[in-house]
Structure 1
């Protein structure tokens, strides 16, 4: 009799333990941080409902905790016919980028970026740095970050271009804005950039104006401020700084 009761108690204990393990597994599965990695796709693989102005320069897909995501980058007008130059004589140009997430009713736009140069009668420069777009999960929260780096300007001579780095994690936006290194100084073997430990221009500005800084070369290669990243995970700014340093001479 006592043995039967003991067996029943053991069986009940084992059953409860098994249920607890199943519940724990289910909870862990539900909270698992999923990021599949980014893969480029061809234009014909883009769903018909996902559209963006201009000629598509890059398209890609990934999966994370929000579901299936699509990224598009484009430019208008197209530069395909003049691949050996950065310049565009049309007088105006724009670049676009956007992210869409798949839902039960179709694809929903998460965000869209647009920048442009208008009424330029000089050398119009506007494009993404080749290979600079990345999709990551730096903070391992299962929601991907999209980082893009591009340059723009309307110049009468060879000089530093404006440079922008934009990072998006869903509705959150972070940015670095500044200048590339001066290509003329690169060609003449002179130091074209401020030192890497002074890359944040806000920290070295002092009482100097942008023009005064440019005359000394201290403006080139710097971003204005990292204030957008104040409330972001520190790893975001670390990555953004590495991208900035990588592409500020990549014209």
Structure 2
């Protein structure tokens, strides 16, 4: 009887040992999924009716994005003046035009406190103005997984009467910390010939996580050439 009992006990022990790693793996998978879900930031586009009336911004609404992170509820607004003539600028030409771009970040949990404002413009342009936010921006990320969103904005500004590059800028904020990448867009001037596309990273990227720089270069390469 003892001879039969010993192999049976060994079989039970082997079965228990073989089951435990599987159960542990399942637990780890569940925990990993929960962490990924916690670290992800979901941003949604809102329309003008969903923007609190106490929030003031210049220009015409281009896009508004809202999200929640470790800081709280956030709202970023992109707006443009369109072609107009702003008398605050000095005008050399009677038929010239101006174009202004605005971006704002508000904290909705802190009485709609303005965290930062970005402003750029083309002034006194007597020929063609190229000024616009790229439509897929702002992009909201959390690349360093610290629970605080990074806000990416890309736009071009220029005044020219020919086929030539204009200023292209990629701006990123994490909180009120600004990172910038500046250069020119790329244009096609022949069958297989392009000009422009160069860029320079601000020194702020030197002390930033490498993933910020890598993602900035990725965004630049993806958007530097637009027909």
Alignment counterpart, residue 128 of structure 1, candidates 118, 133, 139: 133
Q: Choose which of 105, 113, 137 in structure 1 pairs with 2:118.
A: 113
Q: Which residue of 2 aligns with 1:189?
A: 191
TM-fit CA distance, 1:131: 1.0
Structure 2 residue corresponding to 1:236, chosen from 196, 212, 215? 212
- The answer to whether the 8 Å contact 1:35/1:62 transfers is no
Cα deviation digits, residues 162-185 of structure 1 (max 9, x gap) = 1000000011100010001123x2
Q: Deviations over 1:98-142 (max 9, x none)?
A: 1111235x1111101000010111111110112132011010000
Q: Name the CA distance, whole Å, in 1 between partners of 2:38 and 2:136.
A: 26
**Do the aligned residues in 2 keep the contact of 1:145 with 1:170 (CA within 8 Å)?**
yes
Cα deviation for residue 42 of structure 1 reads 1.2
| Preserved contact between residue 54 and residue 78 of structure 1 (Cα < 8 Å) | no
Matched residues in 2 for 1:109 and 1:33: separation? 26
Matches of 2:201 and 2:76 in 1, distance apart?
A: 27
Query: What is the number of equivalent residue pairs in this alignment?
Result: 181
Change (3 A) 1:78 1:131: farther
Q: In structure 2, what is the equivalent of residue 96 of structure 1?
A: 102
Q: Which of structures 1 and 2 has the bigger CA Rg?
A: 2
Whether the 8 Å contact between 2:122 and 2:129 is mirrored in structure 1 is yes
For structure 2, list consecutive stretches of 5 or more residues without a partner in the other structure: 1-36, 85-94
Gaps of 5+ in 1: 1-31, 80-88, 193-216
Question: Contact 1:35 / 1:63 at 8 angstroms: preserved in 2?
Answer: no
- Matched with 2:199 is 223
Looking at structure 1, the residues matched to 193 and 203 of structure 2 have their Cα atoms a distance apart, in angstroms, of 27
TM-score, with structure 1 as normaliser = 0.68
Structure 1 equivalent of residue 48 of structure 2: 43
Structure 2 Cα separation of the partners of residues 37 and 90 of structure 1: 42
Cα displacement (A) at 1:77: 2.0
* Distance of 1:34 and 1:65 partners within structure 2: 10
Say whether the 8 Å CA contact 1:34–1:65 is kept in structure 2.
no
CA contact (8 A) 1:123 1:155 kept: yes
| TM-superposition CA deviations, 1:188-217 (whole Å, max 9, x none) | 22231xxxxxxxxxxxxxxxxxxxxxxxx4
CA distance 1:90–1:137, change in 2 (3 Å): farther
Structure 1 segment 1-251 matched on structure 2, within 5 A: 35-77=40-82, 91-103=97-109, 106-183=111-188, 185=189, 188-192=190-194, 217=195, 220-251=196-227
Check 1:133–1:103 CA distance in 2 against 1; reply closer, same or farther (3 A cut). closer
CA distance in 2, matches of 1:132, 1:111: 17
CA shift, 1:33, in A, is 6.0
The root-mean-square deviation of aligned C-alpha atoms, in Å, is: 2.0
